[in-house]
Amino acid sequence: MNKRTYAGISEQYAKIETSKIVLIPVPYDGTSTWQKGADKGPEAFLNASDNMELYDIETDSEVYKNGIHLADAVTENSSPEKMVAAVHAVTKTFIRKNKFVTIIGGEHAISIGTIRAFNECFNDLTVVQIDAHADLRKEYNGSACNHACTAYEASQNTNLIQVGIRSMDAIEKTVMDEDKVFFAHEMAIDDYWMENAIDLMTKNVFITFDLDAFDPSILPATGTPEPGGLLWYETLDFLKKIFKQKNVVGFDIAELCPNEKDKSSDFLAAKLYYKMLSYKFNNLELDDYENESGFKEPNNKSTKFEDEDYD
């Protein structure tokens, strides 16, 4: 991936030293089992971002002026386990610099590393998984770092809330906390699902967003599309409520599988990312983020995982 700035912003707003936000691309697609191509997702996302207008009408803001640093891509792909370890280490390094860390994949297995890093750095973490699939298998195809296992570790170590689920294997019910799962068919007839989901969240929230959560009518370019998904404005309404009521400490977006003949999915992913940033920083003065972030130096939390520093 060529070195560039996010969305073509000037270097003034892209320097690591002054940027409040860091974006880490992870072009990985090593464990997907149907349509391949999620490794091309970050590049397609960045290309779409280059063509996006950076004034957000809804929030009357230009969030890029908080600074968005585009980090070097995590390109480790020798094994799923090494990819997860690399994502974990890089993510944690930037969190320790007190940046608002965001990640763009790549298949959803990348989130095993991101969630692990945020859980080690923030106390009492809620993970909000917005997804078509439960991803709760302990192991799949011989690896615990498979896209079908994305949420398993989070289910054991964090307050996991799953939203939009409409496809899963029966074995996943054995580890699923159904009181914290919002199934798509139930959401369709429940006017209060957003409020009920938010009531289950702790103060610190990490959002992992699998783009197949969207209905394929608005985002077809994903590896495993499922009918009956979320639409644009209801998704934004939910996200806006979370950002307003909770301390969102970071997020990732995964599973864009670009289609050369249709760029609308790429642009939706780009717009979703920018919207989420706009909601995060809309109510903050430019100098307030450092006091609001809630970051705790992770030395007070023991970890059994390899912990490396990446520059």
pLDDT digits (tens, 9 = 90+) for 73-102: 999 999 999 999 999 999 999 999 999 999
Give the separation between CA 95 and CA 45, rounded to whole angstroms: 23
Burial class (CB in 10 A: 0-12, 13-18, 19+), 50: middle
Whole-model pTM: value is 0.91
In order of 7, 23, 44, 60, 211, the CA distances from 52 in angstroms are 7, 16, 13, 16, 19
**Integer-rounded Cα radius of gyration of the chain:** 18
Mean pLDDT of 54-68: 98
pLDDT at 216 over 80: yes
- Residue at token pair 């068919």: 185
Is residue 305 very low, low, confident or very high in pLDDT (cuts 50, 70, 90)? Answer: very low
Mean pLDDT of 253-258: 96
Report helix, strand and coil shares of the chain as percent, to nearest 5: 40, 20, 40
Mean pLDDT of 263-286: 90
User: What is Dmax (Cα atoms) for the chain?
Assistant: 51
Can you give the pLDDT at residue 10? 97
Which amino acid, residue 230?
A: L
Tokens linked to 309? 């520093």
pLDDT at 248 over 90: yes
Strands 100-105 and 21-26, by their bridges, are parallel
Mean pLDDT of 13-38: 89
